[in-house]
Amino acid sequence: MGSSPELGARERTLDELRRRMAAVPGRGAAAAARTPREQPLRREMLPVPAPLAELLPEGGLPKGAVVAYSGAHSLLTGLLAAVTGAGGHAAVVGLPRLGLLAAAEMGAQLSRLAVIPDPGPDPAEVAAVLLDGLDLVVLGLDGFAVPPARCRVLTARARNRGATLIAAGGTWTDPALRLDSRVTGYRGLGAGRGRLRSVCLDVRVSAKAGPPRHGRMDLCAHAGRTEWQTRETVTGATECTALHEAVS
């Protein structure tokens, strides 16, 4: 009997999420109305920061797929900014430390972003509800390993709803893509500067087919906005790494 109030609160939370999803413009119905039934459906992509697009096999995150993610929150924030900035709807579940200010500086439309910092004991269930009405759901697993059977259920739901699920910081069985990022350094720190001008990331993309792809990119502050740039010069990479070692 002691668990009944908790179960009731959980059901009320899920019901509220379902009502909110019903109020989101019907992206799936609109897309179906624009596509003649006799034409084959093309694989649709969600937009991503330009340097990451160069590494992805199809230039974006495939809709209806699950992506396993590990590493720096900066790239997750960039993905949310790219999707909402292009008119899509997204949600973040179980990542209370993800910075909304940083997302806004990257161009995110916060009115199109739902944040559930504390989803309760079953964040995967909350994410499953959100997949019904959104383009992108980022699920923070906090080191949790999702059972393979649950992975299959959520993967099927994402595919059926045409939504993309990013499972971050845990273990996910058989994702369509794996993204790994790590901070390798900073620019703008040191004597005479004192301000952080950019963060340097190394990114690894692994798909089910083909070899992994590696790339380096910088997250740079410019005129009140934060922009993604491909790190093309060896000099820049060397400076970044040296600064990282200096502040580690």
The CATH code of the domain that includes 49 is 3.40.50.300
Considering the domain architecture, whether residues 160 and 46 belong to the same structural domain is answered as: yes
Average of per-residue pLDDT values in the chain:
83
Tell me which residue range forms the domain holding 197: 181-247
The yes-or-no verdict on residue 215 having pLDDT over 70 is yes
pTM: 0.80
Number of domains in the chain: 2
83: nearest Cα among 56, 65, 63: 63
Considering the domain architecture, whether residues 48 and 149 belong to the same structural domain is answered as: yes
* Strands, sheet with 198-207, edge to edge from the N-terminal-most edge strand: 113-116, 90-93, 136-140, 164-168, 66-70, 177-187, 198-207, 213-222, 225-230
Considering the domain architecture, whether residues 98 and 127 belong to the same structural domain is answered as: yes
Fill in the amino acid letter for 189. L
The yes-or-no verdict on residue 153 having pLDDT over 70 is yes
Q: Work out the percent of the chain whose per-residue pLDDT is above 90.
A: 66
Lowest mean pLDDT among 1-5, 42-46, 185-189: 1-5
> What does the pLDDT read at residue 7?
63
Lowest mean pLDDT among 50-59, 101-110, 182-191, 234-243: 234-243
Q: Pick the last residue of a domain from 140, 160, 179.
A: 179
Considering the domain architecture, whether residues 142 and 60 belong to the same structural domain is answered as: yes
> What does the pLDDT read at residue 241?
41
C-alpha dihedral (92, 105, 207, 94), degrees to nearest 10: -20
The yes-or-no verdict on residue 233 having pLDDT over 70 is no
